[in-house]
Structure 1
Amino acid sequence: MSERTMRRVAILGGNRIPFCRVGTNYASASNQDMATAALQGLVERCQLKGEKLGDVSLGAVLKHSKDWNLARESVLGTDLHPDTPGFDVTRACGTSLEAANLIGLKIAAGQVEAGIAAGTDTASDVPVTVNEEYRRILMEMRFARSAGQRIKALLKLRPRHFKPAFPGVGEPRTGKGMGEHCEMMAKEFGLTQKEQDELAYESHQKAAKAWQDGFYDDLVTPFRGAERDNNVRPDSSLEKMATLKPAFDRKSGKGTITAANATPLTDGAAAVLLGSEEWAKSRGMEPMAYLADVEVAAVDFVQGEGLLMAPAFAVPRLLARNNLTLQDFDYYEIHEAFAAQAICTLKAWESAEFCKEKFGLDKPLGSIDRNKLNVKGGSVALGHPFAATGARVLATAGKLLKEKGSGRVLLSVCTAGGMGVTAIVER
């Protein structure tokens, strides 16, 4: 970049379909169906019909092998110019925020003028496959050179081979699911069910009010009979939440994570339009805000670090690079994979011991104003289609700053594999 200056990356629009609980409105919808709907809604909202964009990046966590070209196929299903390219990307739950980072870097470097970052995920249309032994026998039959060889392979089949294999989101290196890992984090930080329930309750109340106030009206496109996110529970109460049993640590009876303070399995898709200031101006678009910086981190959860704690490690580096403190933000969009995960992250930043040992800091990052946290609801209430959440929080951050007129938002998304993606949005 010897003769070029890095350009600012404008957030120009966002759109998603309502997030719906597994097995409900989108039970028969594919990742491509949902991604195409979210993209087309953005095309219509931002008047992009016939527009040739520089690139589109999107991905999914749970996907069929036929979706190897998901981004491009989804683009071809919209009114974007068919010459618009697309590429798949996956970073677990941080997929669409990472996609925004990649599209943003292309814009900043002058490679493209505008692009879309998106994510889609379904827990209802997951790939159900044959088990490994059966697969090997089928491959042996496929490459057999004679009828005799095919019959020989066929005779190896046993009843056990016909048991289907369902996908999971457990960690291959530990054999534990996210909930089990997060329960370990909750114990490490001494969390109670009550404080997790309180954050979850607030998430539902904020989300319900945001919908009631019309905040999401110009960020969401109805799809397959869904007008709103169908997991939001405005009538939930702390008394009801307190009666729920542990979801992941039933044996000891000491588990604190329940179905009420964890995200539900969710289907949905979300997309964000990014562009250069020049491109936006030429089309009469006012930037909502700007994607200022992104930081990614990973932790060694196999050796005992909390699986979902990587954002806590990414943020200090992000703050230092931008000469900011944790308190220099007007809003905080922290993904609630579990209420416990969000609280553990906040407590890590408040802990002098944690910040000294893990980050080498002389003092803790400190506390945030909880009134600025997930002000329009978080993932516990809105739902969490894995790859779509990053685009949801990015669009939310952009609109928050557009309405306020100025300010900063800190974004934080934890992911499987002990990773995290964080970002700064400003206006």
Structure 2
Amino acid sequence: MNNPLTPPGLRRVAIVGGVRTPFCRANTGYAELGNLDLLVTALQGLVERYGLAGVHLDEVGAGAVTAHSRDWNLAREALLSTALAPSTPAYTLVQACGTSLQAALQLGAKIASGAIDCGIAAGVDTASDVPLVFGARFAHRLLALSRARTLRERLAALRGFSPRELAPVPPSPAEPRTGLSMGEHCERMAKEWRIGRAEQDALALDSHRKASAARDAGFLDELLVPCAGVLRDNLVRDDASAAALAALKPVFDRSDAGTLTAGNSTPLTDGAAAVLLASEDWARAHGLPVLAWLGPARVAAVDFVNDAGLLMAPTVAVAELLGRSGLRLQDFDFYEIHEAFAAQVLCTLRAWESADYCRAQLGLAAPLGAIDPARLNPVGSSLAYGHPFAATGARILATAAKQLAVRGGGRALVSVCTAGGMGLAAIVEGAAAG
């Protein structure tokens, strides 16, 4: 049976459930682990939670943003380290911070069309095990040495060598097209939209308080799987306060005009998350629950090189999604909006309320309007839990599905901004919504 948001001829896509490792600040609980370790833990946790040992799944799509060369076959290698049937194919994909949500959308489209019946979408990232490589000059020198067959050729390859060539080159946080980091871009957005420091700190504080309350209420219990002895997120601050946040100094614009701090920006985080998707028939045949339905989705991009805000693409994705679905922005019980930075969320909300922006950038005759702040990230989001880049989409999707299941139905809007000026948005329907 189709619900109103499932076009005729397509199957509904069930979100059976999801799990994740606890998220940890970089260089703490998972300092000795890599992407493969974390992803295996999340996938195996999902296998154990839903009794999938020995089960063949149609596909597993997973990825990492910051990866070593050894991670080239990451999804497949991780799968082979779980109890899933080794006949399950897997592929690795990357779309910056939207990686695992994009994996879910791709799998969902295949399930809806009947091409496959089930799959896992997952993502992982560790900032504790970043790839450090040599600069191009020394790398070329090493290649020349590997090809050398005589002493003369070896000496020629080493000619002009300087110890400075041995300095490692860490991954750059800057956008290749602009040379600016995401935080620096977001500072520009905050200034353009006149988002003050106090507003940003208030949103960050609210995220920590909601996350702390959700944890204490047991909401996270079924979503977390232990990893390396870690049982809970170590970034949620029970003692967060307005005064403590206000005392922090700006980190991306250190002048008096800077507003983004370590407190209202996501920290470098390690973790992994995974979500099981299926057709309704497959889920029922395997005795599995349906927490929610993955509905329509939209992916968009903006020209951030020519002054569009780097993290504003979700405004476009959501506007297009609403237009195609016949819904208003206010037609949702809650909103799961990824908090890369408090300023980024606030810019997005303000843009939807702006008649000028909605007309000029979104092609709308009227603004999308405001949303009820109480419905925004009801159990906290990335500012509190952290943001292991590729894992965030799966975390948000599983979180939204569980909230709908707890509510007994309803509708949620999820969105994720990404590097490269892209944004993803999707509608999630409660399973009791028909």
1:11 and 2:15 aligned? yes
Structure 2 residue aligned with 1:209 = 213
Structure 2 residue aligned with 1:182 = 186
| 8 Å Cα contact 1:244-1:258 kept in structure 2 | yes
Structure 1 residue aligned with 2:265 = 262
SS of aligned partner of 1:359:
coil
User: Whole-Å Cα distance in 1 between the matches of residues 66 and 293 of structure 2?
Assistant: 30
Root mean square deviation, CA, Å: 0.9
Structure 1 residue aligned with 2:92 = 88
Per-residue deviation, 1:145: 4.3
Per-residue deviation, 1:155: 1.9
The 5 Å alignment of 1:35-46 reads 35-46=39-50
Cα deviations across residues 287-307 of structure 1 (Å, max 9, x unaligned)? Answer: 100110111111111111100
SS of aligned partner of 2:352:
helix
Task: Specify the code of the residue in structure 1 equivalent to 2:426.
Answer: A
Per-residue deviation, 1:425: 0.5
SS of aligned partner of 1:417:
coil
User: Whole-Å Cα distance in 2 between the matches of residues 267 and 137 of structure 1?
Assistant: 34
Per-residue deviation, 1:168: 2.2
Structure 2 residue aligned with 1:32 = 36
1:55 and 2:35 aligned? no
Per-residue deviation, 1:188: 0.3
401, 410, 415: which one aligns with 1:412: 415
1:385 and 2:385 aligned? no
Per-residue deviation, 1:224: 1.1
User: Whole-Å Cα distance in 1 between the matches of residues 70 and 145 of structure 2?
Assistant: 22
Per-residue deviation, 1:285: 1.6
Task: Specify the code of the residue in structure 2 equivalent to 1:386.
Answer: F
Task: Specify the code of the residue in structure 1 equivalent to 2:231.
Answer: E
| 8 Å Cα contact 1:25-1:226 kept in structure 2 | yes
326, 341, 351: which one aligns with 2:344: 341
SS of aligned partner of 2:374:
helix
Per-residue deviation, 1:404: 1.0
Per-residue deviation, 1:109: 1.6
Amino-acid identity (%): 57
User: Whole-Å Cα distance in 1 between the matches of residues 10 and 215 of structure 2?
Assistant: 37
104, 109, 116: which one aligns with 2:108: 104
Structure 2 residue aligned with 1:306 = 309
TM-score between both structures, scaled by the size of structure 1: 0.98
229, 237, 240: which one aligns with 1:236: 240
Task: Specify the code of the residue in structure 1 equivalent to 2:233.
Answer: D
Count residues with an aligned counterpart: 423
SS of aligned partner of 1:261:
coil
The 5 Å alignment of 1:389-408 reads 389-408=392-411
Structure 1: runs of 5 or more not aligned? none
SS of aligned partner of 1:96:
helix
Runs of 4+ in structure 1 off by over 2 angstroms are 143-147
Per-residue deviation, 1:369: 0.5
Cα deviations across residues 347-369 of structure 1 (Å, max 9, x unaligned)? Answer: 00010111011112111000001
131, 135, 157: which one aligns with 2:139: 135
Per-residue deviation, 1:140: 1.8
Task: Specify the code of the residue in structure 1 equivalent to 2:405.
Answer: K
User: Whole-Å Cα distance in 2 between the matches of residues 5 and 156 of structure 1?
Assistant: 67
TM-score between both structures, scaled by the size of structure 2: 0.96
Structure 2: runs of 5 or more not aligned? 1-7
User: Whole-Å Cα distance in 2 between the matches of residues 147 and 362 of structure 1?
Assistant: 74
Structure 2 residue aligned with 1:271 = 274
